[in-house]
Amino acid sequence: MRAIHQTSSEPAAKLGKGPVRIEAEPYEFVLLPQHCALVIIDMQRDFLEPGGFGEMLGNDVSQLRRTIEPNKRLLAAWRRYGLPVFHTREGHRPDLFDLPPAKKIRGRSKTTIGDKGPMGRILVRGEAGHDIIPELYPEPGEPVVDKPGKGAFYATDLQEMLKHRDVKQLVVTGVTTEVCVNTTVREANDRGYECLVLSDCCGSYFPEFHEMALKMVKAQGGIFGWVTSSEKLLEGLAG
Ligand code: C5J
């Protein structure tokens, strides 16, 4: 199966069924168009927008906002190729029954998950701040995975959806590199998926954590996966 759907008004670009070689670290990634999906992690308003919860906690959101443009370009191309994309959002039920008390009190902040924040209740499904930024908003038919944890596999139906589409490889982008992106890549790796992480499409409030998180993925011969840039991936696909 080639694609979940084709919602873009533009015609699908030509992409053969054969392997596509992508320059990556620690070595070349061989992308299989029939078995590859894009997973965009938690590009949510509360993490990325000025005035959101992330900024309220004193974080510099520009560190995350630099990922918007490369993700936009990648997503537009991915849609043109008719390849599957999954969007994720970190958040909880409005009744907070899926929020572990230990997560609720973590950080010892005055305002925590479920409380009223600048864009509605913090990390609660249905609230404005919990939603995906308009620049990367999912198109109709693109699955959105609501996850209560950091990893996209924990307590979600992502793995079932990937199985049904015969997906074996994931291109992973989003925020934050060292938390939800890294956790998802580790979960995926243990489940047998090959992960290609795009350095310019991932971001952290802490640049040094971003760098180290990417190093951890590709260390020891690619212990969790591969790292490249969106430019190299798009070059390879266009190649
Ligand atoms: C994500 C977080 N999405 N840093 N969450 O990484 O709490």
AA letter at 26: P
Q: Is the CB of 131 under 6 A from ligand 1?
A: no
Atom 5, ligand 1: residue with shortest CA distance? 180
Tens digits of residue pLDDT in 139-182: 999 999 999 999 999 999 999 999 999 999 999 999 999 999 99
Tens digits of residue pLDDT in 103-145: 999 988 899 999 999 999 999 999 999 999 999 999 999 999 9
**Cβ-based neighbours of 18, under 8 Å, separated by 6 or more:** 33
pLDDT the model gives residue 11: 56
Tens digits of residue pLDDT in 23-75: 999 999 999 999 999 999 999 999 999 999 999 999 999 999 999 999 999 99
Q: Is the pLDDT of residue 7 over 70?
A: no
Mean pLDDT lowest among 69-78, 99-108, 212-221: 99-108
- The answer to whether the beta carbons of residues 122 and 114 sit under 8 Å apart is yes
Is 180 part of the annotated catalytic residue set?
yes
> Does 113 or 1 have the greater pLDDT score?
113
Q: Is the CB of 123 under 6 A from ligand 1?
A: no
Give the number of the atom of ligand 1 that is nearest the alpha carbon of residue 41: 3
Annotated catalytic residue: which of 36, 180, 201, 202?
A: 180
Peptide bond into 183 cis (omega under 30): no
In whole angstroms, give the CA distance from residue 231 to residue 229.
5
User: In a mutational test of the pocket of ligand 1, which residue from 40, 43, 45, 47 has the highest number of ligand atoms less than 8 Å from its CB?
Assistant: 47
Q: Tell me the mean pLDDT in the region 72-80.
A: 98
